Amino acid sequence: MTNEINFDEIDLSQGAPAQEPQRQYYFMKKAQILLAEKEAELGRKLQACIKTFGCQMNARDSEKLRGILELIGYELTESEEADFVLYNTCTVRENANLKVYGRLGYLNGLKKKNPHMLISLCGCMMQEPEVIEKLKKSYRFVDLVFGTHNIYKFAELLTTAMESDRTVFDIWKDTDKIVEDLPAERTYTFKSGVNIMFGCNNFCSYCIVPYVRGRERSRRPEDILKEIRTLVADGVKEIMLLGQNVNSYGKNLEEPITFAQLLTEVEKIDGLERIRFMTSHPKDLSEDLIQVMKHSKKICRHLHLPLQSGSTEILRRMNRRYTKEQYLALAERLRSEIPDLSLTTDIIVGFPGETEEDFQETLDVVRKVRYDSAFTFIYSKRTGTPAAAMENQIPEDVVKDRFNRLLTLVQDISREQSLRVQGQTLPVLVESVNEQDSSLVTGRLSNNLLVHFPGDASLIGEIVPVYLKECMGFYYYGERAEA
């Protein structure tokens, strides 16, 4: 996408255009010049580093931010000892939040050694007014702060920060805008996330995401398909369609389309081999989607279906809008229609008012559904959400005890479930050379299990058949098989 921008045609002696993304291209060129001046002054290249916290949405946003940094002329680095450091933050649980404050102190130390350093913060945490107040008061060494809604304006904001000696803050409350055709620097050559929608309208009572990501907006299917075609032409074999609730995709478009219909269109793209998506809200998962998945050759055998709690009463107070029985029926239906499907989930322990009986209901669902794996979270109180104001917050020791019991059960079942494919030969998309043992490569099955097998870097990005020899609990050791 980046090569579509013709910087020679941009005239900086004119004012910046009002239209997007042209306006951002203008500021990219301006930033290129400012950066080149700085390079000349310092006699070296300037380096930039982005650290990402949180979910796949943030990971994808960071790829877009990196794309812009690279285009401006920064060398990208993993090290925070850089000239521009950006933290893309998460605030879904309090510990995500605390991590950022902790690291900011460290960055301030680095900035004292390198006065040219620019420190920037963006992402979900920046949408919280208390965070901004705290930054203004106690973290004045930060140079640029922006939120989730104006990320597309990064080039413009960075230019402003480069020219200003005060902290630049730009936070929007919400937006109905989607800006297409901005560059992105992919972390992997062979797989990529693709946003299909932004924001969330569900307001689960514990969750801060709708407040920091705004209302649900779907991208137009033609824009999504165009992006995927471009990615595939550039070597991408696997895409992950991203949204907080992909099952409600398309409902608010001028020409409504369902998620199942979108998948059918994506499936037709030649050269694309694997389709994943995240996340599915159980209340909106349609029979159409089950059928499309069942008959698809490309949609991976993996569905992430967050349960949150197995107690109908807790689910009601979480505003999840399904009951234990409805969830179980859905899981049963999925297991019977697509037997090789891997089902994974998210579970919260210690929601306000959760009794031991409620918790037993959660364990019961885990035993019945037999999740292939599950993320378990301790409930974290998020200021501004309805649950934060609920009575009966659960004492820490009770929550910890429940959490440990849940984790043991989830892991025992997960180990047994992983054994389901032992002895089979299945296609693996190779992702990397194994970090511990360089004679091995690591890849993923369609069902998302990791497999290590002998091979070298030339296999990265290839899909190869692998004999699944030895199950190690949550991953496999395998051997390459004949195609």
Q: Which residues bind ligand SF4 (CB under 6 A)?
A: 200, 202-204, 207, 209-210, 244-245, 281
Residue placing its CB nearer to ligand F3S in the complex, 131 or 182: 131
Kindly identify the residues of this chain, within the stretch 387-416, that bind ligand SAH according to CB under 6 A.
Answer: none
In the complex, least distance from residue 211 CB atom to ligand SF4, rounded to whole angstroms? 9
The DSSP bridge pattern shows strands 475-480 and 463-471 to be antiparallel
d(CA 318, CA 79): 40
AA letter at 418: S
Residue selected from 382, 402, 444, 452 as contacting ligand SAH according to rule CB under 6 A: 382
In the complex, least distance from residue 318 CB atom to ligand SF4, rounded to whole angstroms? 8
Name 16's Cβ contacts closer than 8 Å, sequence gap at least 6: 23, 26, 27, 156
Residue placing its CB nearer to ligand F3S in the complex, 97 or 447: 97
- Please choose which of ligand SAH, ligand F3S, ligand SF4, none residue 324 contacts, taking the beta carbon within 5 to 8 angstroms, the exact cut-off set by kind: none
Binding of ligand SAH by 306 (CB under 6 A) = yes
- Look up residue 236 and give its two tokens: 């991408």
DSSP state of 457: G
- Please choose which of ligand SAH, ligand SF4, ligand F3S, none residue 348 contacts, taking the beta carbon within 5 to 8 angstroms, the exact cut-off set by kind: ligand SAH
Binding of ligand SAH by 317 (CB under 6 A) = no
AA letter at 92: V
Q: Which stretch binds ligand SAH (CB under 6 A): 12-20, 219-227, 377-385, 429-437?
A: 377-385
d(CA 100, CA 126): 11
Q: What are the residues binding ligand F3S (CB under 6 A)?
A: 54-55, 57-58, 90-92, 124, 209, 212-213
Residue selected from 32, 89, 279, 373 as contacting ligand SAH according to rule CB under 6 A: 279
Nearest to 75 by CA among 51, 44, 120, 103: 44
Separation in Å, CA 219 to CA 370, 406, 482: 34, 38, 41
Residue placing its CB nearer to ligand SF4 in the complex, 206 or 476: 206
In the complex, least distance from residue 57 CB atom to ligand SAH, rounded to whole angstroms? 9
- Please choose which of ligand SAH, ligand F3S, ligand SF4, none residue 58 contacts, taking the beta carbon within 5 to 8 angstroms, the exact cut-off set by kind: ligand F3S
Rounded to 10 degrees, the C-alpha dihedral 309/314/317/319 comes to 30
d(CA 156, CA 151): 10
d(CA 482, CA 174): 53
In the complex, least distance from residue 148 CB atom to ligand F3S, rounded to whole angstroms? 7
Binding of ligand SAH by 209 (CB under 6 A) = yes
Please report the DSSP string for 4-51 in residue order: G--GGG--TTSPPPSSTTHHHHHHHHHHHHHHHHHHHHHTS--EEEEE
- Please choose which of ligand SAH, ligand SF4, ligand F3S, none residue 57 contacts, taking the beta carbon within 5 to 8 angstroms, the exact cut-off set by kind: ligand F3S
| Binding-site ranges for ligand SAH (CB under 6 A) | 92-93, 206-207, 209, 244-245, 279, 281, 306, 308, 346, 348, 377, 379-380, 382
